Amino acid sequence: MLRANAITKRFGRTLALDAVDFEALPGEIHALVGENGAGKTTLMNVLAGSLAADRGETILDGRPLRAGSPRAALAAGIAAVHQSPMLFERMTWEENLALGGFDTGAGALDLDAIAMRARSLAAKLGFEMPPAGATVENRSVAERVRLEVLRALSFNPRVLILDEPTSVLAPSELAAFLDLLRNLRGEGRIVVLITHKLAEAIAVADRITVLRRGRVVARTTPAETSEEKLAGLMIGEIVAQPAASATPPHSGDPVLQIEDLTLDDHTGRRILDRLSFRVAAGEIVGIAGVDGNGQTELVELLAGARRPSGGKITVLDGSSDGAMAVIPQNRDLDGLILDMRLWENLILARPLRERVTSHGWLDTARAIDLCRELIDRFRIHVPGPETIAGALSGGNRQRLEVARAIASRPRVIVAHNICRGLDLAATAEVHRTILDFSAGSGAVILISSDLDELLAICGRLLIISRGKIRETNRGERDPERLGLLMAGARD
């Protein structure tokens, strides 16, 4: 039995955990739910030993764990999968797994044996590993997370703690993943699942603990609760806010035209295959797809970070410079510079940088003012413009990115998985902002692997699969059929 007694942890003036008791039994999936900032990740870090609590202790099977030592926690049988992948980008996936428990020791590093064990475990869990010798930097987010789960499982742990693992999985991968969790439970392990996807918690968990602002506000079971009740407990009051209603298919003037857009990687493999579509003013076009089907590359092309091998991206009416604002999917890697200040992150966007630069000189006072204005307007909870971006929570980082995109006054916003890892309130807020933008006749391309999100706010839906894009029938709303299309089925 895993037990945490009266864990208290303070960061500066912030009380992250306030005398939290937590308990999980062998053969149990225990869901830990709460909003961003509720303290879920902090609790996980304490349990997994990567953070020492100010007070309280962690006990596994009657033995107290040494606080603040991930090594001791691992030795005792507690393995954790972190929210943002902690992988070595420029090493192969086999080398990354070599740091796990697949290696039999014996001194020599046998990557083939590691790959074999990994592949067989992956097959049991229902997914494939990347080609032999592939480096991590080119893999999709979903593949990275699977790699992490595999690495944690390689230690054959008694306790597996997963921090938001499903937020990056495609719908088609979700069922298999939940089955995997059930299998682990069947083997008598303790599974702690941190999530804010309430449906999932109810579907798979035996017990649910709800955290709010560093305190346990409820301990319940799926039988005695519901999504609505859990949402109410998490947020503290019942906020009846359906994200938004879907925008009607809009027939404004076309703003963006993409013709035969093609991209081959340096080995000549075709990543994007003659994409053609248009986006009109005031329209929100969704692009649905399982991660790793060319979405990241499409965003890179639209951002101008990469040159296409063929085809054209044209912003109709007006110059193309600054007409497009991109919100990349990986906030921490692509969208922000975490060790720079907020105002500096803001002027990463060229239109904003130009607004505070004259004759090459940067007017820092104006940049700071602009930042303060946006902090107020978009209700970003931070001390001020001089705060380092890395000190922000996930929700506030996303608010900053959305604020930056809107403030750039683009014709088109391209947003990739913008609500991944955000809680209900933050998601609704981001959606509302995007809808407001489109209502002001801005065009939006929303790329996501979350069908529910796309169905909620998109007027038109495209499917991307193996680098090809196809229109769906207007009014096609059946998630099952769409899911099949995403998986690459032909009509």
Residues that bind other proteins in the complex, under the rule CB under 8 A: 9, 11, 14, 16, 35-42, 45, 50-51, 84-90, 137, 213, 300, 303-306, 326, 328, 332-340, 344, 347-350, 353-354, 357, 360-362, 364, 381, 388, 390-396, 423, 426
Q: Which residues pair with 91 in a beta bridge?
A: none
Judged by beta carbon, residue 165 or residue 459, the one nearer other proteins is 165
Do the beta carbons of residue 145 and residue 80 sit within 8 Å? no
* Phi-psi sector, 340: left (phi>0), alpha (psi -120 to 50), beta: beta
Q: Are 260 and 278 in contact (CB under 8 A)?
A: no
We find the least distance from the C-beta atom of residue 166 to other proteins, in angstroms, to be 18
Nearer Cβ to other proteins, position 171 or 328?
A: 328
The minimum distance between CB 141 and other proteins, in angstroms, equals 12
Quote the least distance from Cβ 453 to other proteins, whole Å.
Answer: 19
In the complex, least distance from residue 399 CB atom to other proteins, rounded to whole angstroms:
9
At 105, give phi and psi (nearest 5°). Answer: 85, -125
Is the Cβ of residue 35 or residue 291 nearer to other proteins in the bound state?
35
Considering the complex, state which of residue 85 and residue 282 has its C-beta at the smaller distance from other proteins: 85
Handedness of CA 162, 164, 165, 166 (dihedral sign): positive
Measured in Å, how far apart are the chain's first and last C-alpha atoms? Answer: 50
From 232, 180, 185, 226, select the one nearest 206 (Cα to Cα).
185
**Side chain identity, residue 384:** G
**Secondary structure letter of residue 417 according to DSSP:** S
Under 8 Å between Cβ of 210 and 33: yes
Query: Residue 10 is which amino acid?
Result: R
CB of 354 to other proteins, least distance (A): 8
Residue 2's Cβ-side half-sphere holds a number of Cα atoms within 13 Å equal to 28
Q: Quick one: 162 or 202, whose CB is closer to other proteins? A: 162
Closest separation in Å from C-beta 113 to other proteins: 25
For other proteins, the closer of residues 66 and 481 by Cβ is 66
Residue whose structure tokens are 């604020």: 403
Q: In the complex, what is the shortest distance from the CB of residue 187 to other proteins, in angstroms, rounded to a whole number?
A: 30
Q: Of the two residues 123 and 337, which places its CB atom closer to other proteins in the complex? A: 337
